[in-house]
Structure 1
């Protein structure tokens, strides 16, 4: 454990599982106090909180549905009420609805629209709620996707579009908040070992997908979380408005 982020408070949305949980743990390993949001499983969220507390940091789980834009302000207010401040926001919560082309008669437009609501408008609402109270010198991280800038296969138009939207928004946020030395960046993972990836791809990563990667494997959660931690830390203070892939070269 390091003290690089000791005294900092981070909010990781969707922090009860997958990359969110890994990022919360990585930030805690650097000494940050952590709030995570979750939408369904209080048991999983509390298990993450206990892991974080075991590292010697303060931790809190808050139930909050990112599909509801009105939930963002109460979420941030609860973080401030509990910890007294907010220094780092990781906009991680998202869903993936993929697999059908836009001309497919069976296209699930209801869930595709919900995906835009959660992935884009939910992240926007959380950022708007956090921006006025975020400490000067703070950090905002958006978890995007390599699909936000490079689409090597069909059936991902809406998901890719939702992640691409974060890029323009993050660049605008970086411009708006730069005067307060607040940075805003997008981290773009490729495929990771998460429940979300399994729901889309199944239990085995298709060989054809791996063949698209110069480094022929998927990312580890720890590799992606490490980049988030770097951008959230003191050495990330002059990186803003950037889009950084952790995707094994799939976009080259």
Structure 2
């Protein structure tokens, strides 16, 4: 039996589970909302073209209106000024879009502190228990934040001082970008940076360092609790938008057992 036939048989039998890590797209899907004077992305919206009527008697279809960075989406290096000469989303290497996934779980810490920041020491402790991060793979940051994903206000968690959402410290962002072997970093929040990251040095350090190192970001992931710390295979399916800074994506994981 070929390797691919074995994978298909395992998926049919349940020996390999296919886990959907994607936030469904609808008008209420939370988006990143920037303060004035910055431009904001569009919310997802369907525009009906026909539905078995005089506009098209036998078919139903829609136009879609949305931004590149809506819902579960992939950030390409060219998304950030530090990576402005880097790859666009249509140029994502297939070896990056299909890769090993490591999952670090900081749910308890985030439950105690919404502004919790992942530090290098947390990743080092994870490696001491589970082994090194996967070469060319993904680090997925589980925080429990996806439980808020159907409530835009709870997802943003903002007050007069701005949003309070978990993220990554400046030093950890630099380390992930410049010293770790991963090709991408994924989160449950609306962006890869913490809610307070506008005040970091540099601002939005996760974007700044990762994009500047030709690495990739994934946001608004769900169901990370269904993944083991190691052993899952991540499959990222963005639209190949030529010149695009990112794309909404369907993200799946293959998990044994």
Same fold (TM over 0.5): no
- Which of 1 and 2 has greater Rg? 2
Q: Which has the higher helix share?
A: 1
**RCO higher in 1 or 2 (8 Å CA, sep ≥ 6)?**
2
- Is the strand fraction higher in 1 or 2? 2
TM-score, normalised to structure 2's length? 0.33
**TM-score after normalising by structure 1:** 0.34
